[in-house]
Structure 1
Amino acid sequence: MALIAPFGAWQSPITAEDVAASSRTPQWVGAHGDRIWWAEGRPAEGGRVALVRAAPGEPPREVLAAPWNVRNRVHEYGGRPWAVVTTAEGDRLVFTHWDDQRVYLVDPDAAGATPRPISPAPERPHGHRYAEPTVSPDGSEIWCVRESVTGDLRTDVRRDLVALPVDGAAAEDASAVRVLAASHHFLSGPKPSPDGRHVAWFGWNHPAMPWDGTELCVAELTGGVFGPHRVVAGGPSEAVCQVEWDGPDALCALTDPDGWWNLHRIGLDGTVRNLHPCEEELGGPLWQTGARWFARLGEDRYAVLRAGRLAVLDAASGRLTDVDSDVDGAGGVWGATLTAVGDGVAGVVSGPRRHPTVARVDLATGELVALGEQPSALPDPRYLPEPVQRVFPGPDGQEIPAYVYPPANPDYEGPGGERPPYLVHVHGGPTGRVFGVLQLDIAYFTSRGVGVVAVNYGGSTGYGRAFRERLRENWGVVDVADCAAVAEALAAEGTADPERLAIRGGSAGGWTTAASLTSVGTYRCGTAMFPILDLTGWSEGETHDFESRYLDSLIGPLPETADRYRDRSPVNRVDRLAGPILLLQGLEDEICPPEQSLRLVTALEGRGIPHAYLAFPGEQHGFRRAETIVTALQAELSFYGQVLGFEPLDVPRLELRR
């Protein structure tokens, strides 16, 4: 028989340590021959990113032991950091190492081989960063994007497409690095055609973000030298997000001239054909260069993602057919890291009760084989919430998609007549989205009797360009209103306690949290993780180059809208703060730096508003270390208990300042 206890005070088998252990998330899947490779975060190893591979009939094994850390800083979010390439010496693993940001090469089958650098040591730490490595047509060079720091400001960065000799000559002599092209301020990795006669890439310039407008470039190749490029797709209001060669004379690209990311075949003769016109997103926002939403299967067939669902597009017939990749009784959600292998496709798949894992699906039979393992700390499914997909009416008549995660614990029930507290979870970006999949940090709360609703507010991806651009010049307005509308609807229908609503989010979600607490009266409190809080400071050099002009579209161009920057910033509105706030911040964050949080903390001093600020050394944007994840999550639960009126079990009490 279930025990009766206040919502929020239920005992749960899901600990903060379990959540940290589950953060060992796979990423950057690829295939070479019959082997599947992927990178994998290791919270217990200080957030190191390991490289793993799996061969048929063999368990996965780690390829590079510590201290090798397969990650880079391109755009600060990192780009594809590894590839297995066929050089004149044979198959080689090429990867970027976090500690020095250099490119390394190693024979992955030579036991005990030590990776050797093939890029020069930079003059300043992390002065050069590289991403999307690929091999030149003759196998003698590695081609990639290089990001170079040119000064002391966060925006002092330039990018080139460069060639690094496989023989390592550039490791000792920087003049051996060959610049291939520099068509735009931002660049994707170069992709030579199968016959080695052409090369393709895409790029964009400030103030555009890659989901606003990009240009797909093609140049002739002569002896490894790029000729003048021409633009074959894209433009100011058309965004190419992935391109692959489809034979020697044509490209396939995900682009959105009609407002939806569809797959197009683009001939070198200038012809363009949408392979399946549909009002569906087959692509997504390019936060990390090298993302893959589709994979060529051969015979005019392509594996694609329909807003996370795996499907096969047959270009000859124009049909788009879902693949039955059932996970936990629901269609699996696949990440943008698809790769074709044999008769199938591999990638990262997750479900409502399954942690993201690397899997391979046989497209002929639909058989799904997991290659990675589920976390050992994954709890009994009875303690995991079942997300309910909902659509709520918005304040401007626009529908607001969301996923509701109700409290779930078979051992407890709330007191009769009591409604649970609810957290509104705001995704980052803001050009991003959430799916209805297992997130153990959400289960940490729901298993204790605190409901969560994750909102795809206006500006989210997955619903077409028009929905995405609802946020144009309205950041801090549309996102705030949409999230509040969802929270208030849950309260009005009796699902949530209207007096115990809170809001939480990281990065852009931290912005919406703080903007909400200083503009609407919906919430009692909120948690802002590594947030943006001062738009003026952020636009004047406090963020990295990639997003330094993002606010041109989200808020408005400067100096014309300077008042808007000032008036919407939470640091200038602390007198309107609706309730207590918890700030969680990484001290090495170059995207939302600690000075943003410190400015708000300073403004709160002496005002009598309960608040707390926890800063974590060694953390960048987002938390990767197990000890950080544990401390932050326990602090958050204690914070909600103190403000929303319940006594959480087994967590240290967070000290609130006033």
Structure 2
Amino acid sequence: MVKTKAPYGSWTSPVTSKLVTESGVSLGDLQLDLNSSHSTSTGPELAYWVERRTDGRSTICSSAGGQEVTDWTIPAHSVASKVHEYGGGAFLVYNGTVYYVNKDDQYMYMQSAPLEEPVLLGSHGRYADGSVDLKRGNVFCVHEDHAAGEGEGPAKFTNNPITSIVSLDVKSKTQKIAVTGADFYGSPRVSPDGKQLAWVQWNHPNMPWTSTELWTGNLSSDGLTVQQGSQNRVAGGNGVSVLGPQWANDGSLFWLSDESGYYHLYYGDQWSGLEGDGDTNVITELMTTDCARAAWQFGHDHFAISTNNKYIVLATNDPAKGDSLMFLKRGDLGTQPQIIKSPWTTIYGMKLSPSAKLYLHAGHQSHPESLVMLDLVAGGFTSAKATATPSSMKAVTESPQKSYGSRLFGFYERKVNQLLDTVDSYTEGGVQDAIQAVAQGTDVLVDTWYGDTSKVLRKSLDIKIGDGYVCRARHFTFHAHGREAYAYYYAPTNEDFEPMDGELPPLLVKCHGGPTQQTNSVIDPNILYWTSRGVAIVDVNYSGSTGYGKKYRDRLAKTWGIAEVDDVCAAAEYLVSKGRADPNRLMIDGRSAGGYTTLACLTFKDTFKAGCSKYGVSDLSVLAKETHKFESRYLDYLIGPLPEAQKEYYERSPCNSVDKLNCPMIILQGTADKVVPVSQATIMYEAVKAKGMPVSLVMFEGEGHGFIKQENVELALDGEFYFYSQIFDWSLPKDFPTNVADKVIIEQEVVV
């Protein structure tokens, strides 16, 4: 096919904003009902998940072994929790009954059949992260009490709610406080014998990834409260983060902790009341990979224990090499885990059935995030020792399908002293084979997966476009002020077009939110929207990102607005030096905390020529005063405590240094945002406008921290592209929506 020559940015693409919003759904919490007729050892089990549709409504769905999908939630309800504002953990299932939180009133309901009128269970505040006492059938939840807030009924809101763990008696429909006293709680889990409750708690100024504690306590005779004096701190605290406790059926307690410098799995077999009694690190010291993500939301399990107590499955969180599933036999705890090979390189949220079927959220560079089932018994896996040399790596790269009798997916490094190279190759299915070449003579553990027994139950996206429009991520390392940092690069890709001779592509640098968060390489139509139009993308995991260990995560302590700003600028400058970006067309965008980084780069640096802040922070002092409870002391970690650090707050707030700003920007903001208030957008807009720089502010009526309505998601994407076209004088693609110009107006605020 002969390609048409056209300037970058003007290429016509099938990846429109409408395709981005209409081609799929958002997949949320995942649950299995292990106490019903669907939990047999032969299956198929009934899997449940939350699915947010294009109209913004979230419903609970179920499917038995990937068969017909059934909707459970009545049309008048939408399933979502607002605890901590970020929610998650909005439903659970027990013995055929679904318990869920309705978005509008935040009450807890119970439902015994699909589309059946639900029964009200809890109506006193907000609920999240529920679990069931298997002996009595009662529900334990994290609870937020906003009774002292402003507003009426369910609309009541305060920036300082009372947080506790409550029990809900499903028979009497009454509620009791089970545990209280700490600022925050998570993961209330009842032991299989119904005698103990385990939970995670923390206090200001800590966040879930800086310092949390795992506690246990004895339940009262009615099983609804924790007995006074029985509470026992098991692990964590003093700068150690613990999360995700789970009980095995034999009474052992497992949890994740970062005390080694990475999130690893720990367990305790016996509980004599002594702090830390019996705790053992399951993963050996040789492993330098996280096994968890930052706990911004409830509801995601990072490991799963078989009901027969014989084995454990957990996932690594490794943005550089791709996530892996690992298998541990209970009799081999403390030894090196085996890797279960599968195509999936981004994995989170898993459940393990009695029949050894693993359900999880997963995706990779050629497959969108999906709900997947892996049959661990039918698939099988083996391990073999091998020696990797540069020559053997070349052979493997040239013929990956023939290596070790199956597709070689990767290596688990042991005692690796030198990483020689990373070679990307793609199988006929478009799945990346990440081949890590290590120093000659280094021992590695090679694991193979015989026969692909994974089954996709539900895709988040159904993108019907040719492979010629799809650009796959390339993870790379660069340096900022002598320190390593990481990013994914996406090259402009369109099978119908090629650039003009000698032209370098414009580059859009993306800053993820958090900032204690990460980006990944799963195929994303929001990325393809840009690359298929001729705009290169670099998605940066800057200092403070998760997935690279605690030391990298803590780089952002007291340095927010400095360290990550240096990193994203260095990423753009690195690609310019390699001839992969036009230095005169460097753009930057980001959401929430990434929006702050965007504003800081545009204000304090000269690297970028334009940018887009999506509900980003412009005044740190105002944010500290106005934001919600969960993040109200986050800035103590990122900047420093007030009033001691007032000088740093002022100096790092972009709105206070507009005189240094010399490039245009567009600002996108929801009017109902409780995390980053509207004032953050208007402060920056007015300041930039007063200076006479090109600026546009688009306010989305009724939207919160992130845009949900289909028309708003489309306008946000098209509006940003249109704004850059006006700044860089691009010729818009022929199929570009004509109504965007009426809603994105330079030097004018528009409410849509």
Corresponding residue to 1:272 among 267, 270, 279: 279
Residue in structure 1 matched with residue 336 of structure 2 by the alignment = 319
Report the CA distance between 1:511 and its aligned residue. 0.5
The answer on whether the counterparts of 2:24 and 2:459 sit within 8 Å (CA) in structure 1 is: no
Q: Please show how residues 111-510 of structure 1 align to structure 2 within 5 Å.
A: 113-120=116-123, 122=124, 128-149=125-146, 150-152=148-150, 154-167=158-171, 169-170=172-173, 176-223=174-221, 224=223, 225-227=225-227, 228-267=230-269, 268-269=271-272, 270-277=277-284, 278-297=287-306, 298-307=308-317, 308-317=323-332, 318-326=335-343, 331-340=344-353, 342-364=355-377, 365=379, 366-373=452-459, 375-395=461-481, 397-510=482-595
Letter in 2 for 1:198: Q
Q: Distance in 1 between matches of 2:337 and 2:526?
A: 35
Q: Is the partner of 2:331 in helix, strand or coil? A: coil
Normalized against structure 1, the TM-score is what? 0.93
Residue in structure 2 matched with residue 656 of structure 1 by the alignment = 746
Distance 1:538 1:401, change over 3 A: same
Q: Distance in 1 between matches of 2:93 and 2:145?
A: 24
The answer on whether the counterparts of 1:133 and 1:142 sit within 8 Å (CA) in structure 2 is: yes
Q: Please show how residues 571-586 of structure 1 align to structure 2 within 5 Å.
A: 571-586=655-670
How many residues of Structure 1 are paired with residues of Structure 2 in the alignment?
632
* 5+ long unaligned stretches in structure 2: 34-38, 40-44, 151-156, 318-322, 380-451
Residue in structure 1 matched with residue 390 of structure 2 by the alignment = none
The answer on whether the counterparts of 1:524 and 1:644 sit within 8 Å (CA) in structure 2 is: no
The answer on whether the counterparts of 1:427 and 1:434 sit within 8 Å (CA) in structure 2 is: yes
Letter in 1 for 2:89: R
Letter in 1 for 2:189: K
Q: Distance in 1 between matches of 2:341 and 2:453?
A: 8
Is 1:533 matched up with 2:618? yes
Residue deviations 1:398-437 (CA, integer Å, cap 9, x gap): 2111100110101000001000000001110000011111
Residue in structure 1 matched with residue 703 of structure 2 by the alignment = 619
CA RMSD of aligned residues (A): 1.7
Distance 1:57 1:595, change over 3 A: closer
The answer on whether the counterparts of 1:530 and 1:585 sit within 8 Å (CA) in structure 2 is: yes
Between 1:443-452 and 1:53-62, the stretch displaced more is 53-62
Q: Distance in 1 between matches of 2:74 and 2:458?
A: 18
Q: Distance in 1 between matches of 2:458 and 2:349?
A: 17
Residue in structure 2 matched with residue 13 of structure 1 by the alignment = 14
The answer on whether the counterparts of 2:365 and 2:473 sit within 8 Å (CA) in structure 1 is: yes
Distance 1:583 1:339, change over 3 A: farther
Residue in structure 2 matched with residue 173 of structure 1 by the alignment = none
Q: Is the partner of 1:179 in helix, strand or coil? A: strand
Residue in structure 2 matched with residue 40 of structure 1 by the alignment = 51
Corresponding residue to 2:62 among 29, 53, 59: 53
* 5+ long unaligned stretches in structure 1: 123-127, 171-175
Residue deviations 1:147-186 (CA, integer Å, cap 9, x gap): 111334742211111122213x44xxxxx32111114210
Q: Distance in 2 between matches of 1:137 and 1:321?
A: 31
Q: Is the partner of 1:609 in helix, strand or coil? A: coil
Q: Is the partner of 1:144 in helix, strand or coil? A: strand
Corresponding residue to 1:107 among 109, 112, 124: 112
Distance 1:374 1:24, change over 3 A: closer
Distance 1:472 1:299, change over 3 A: same
Q: Distance in 2 between matches of 1:332 and 1:191?
A: 29
Q: Distance in 2 between matches of 1:524 and 1:321?
A: 48
Report the CA distance between 1:248 and its aligned residue. 4.5
Q: Distance in 2 between matches of 1:489 and 1:645?
A: 25
The answer on whether the counterparts of 2:471 and 2:491 sit within 8 Å (CA) in structure 1 is: yes
The answer on whether the counterparts of 2:250 and 2:309 sit within 8 Å (CA) in structure 1 is: no
Q: Is the partner of 1:574 in helix, strand or coil? A: helix
Q: Distance in 2 between matches of 1:206 and 1:11?
A: 51
Report the CA distance between 1:454 and its aligned residue. 0.4
Q: Is the partner of 1:319 in helix, strand or coil? A: coil
Residue deviations 1:365-387 (CA, integer Å, cap 9, x gap): 05110001463444222211111
Between 1:489-498 and 1:598-607, the stretch displaced more is 598-607
Is 1:601 matched up with 2:599? no
Q: Distance in 2 between matches of 1:57 and 1:372?
A: 8
Report the CA distance between 1:593 and its aligned residue. 1.3
Residue deviations 1:348-367 (CA, integer Å, cap 9, x gap): 11111222111101123051
The answer on whether the counterparts of 2:509 and 2:572 sit within 8 Å (CA) in structure 1 is: yes
Report the CA distance between 1:316 and its aligned residue. 3.1
Is 1:77 matched up with 2:78? no
Q: Distance in 2 between matches of 1:641 and 1:313?
A: 53
Report the CA distance between 1:341 and its aligned residue. 5.7
Normalized against structure 2, the TM-score is what? 0.82
The answer on whether the counterparts of 1:425 and 1:453 sit within 8 Å (CA) in structure 2 is: yes
Q: Distance in 2 between matches of 1:492 and 1:631?
A: 33
Distance 1:436 1:137, change over 3 A: closer
Residue deviations 1:425-455 (CA, integer Å, cap 9, x gap): 1110000011111111111000000000001
Q: Distance in 1 between matches of 2:324 and 2:653?
A: 37
Letter in 2 for 1:190: P
Report the CA distance between 1:556 and its aligned residue. 0.6
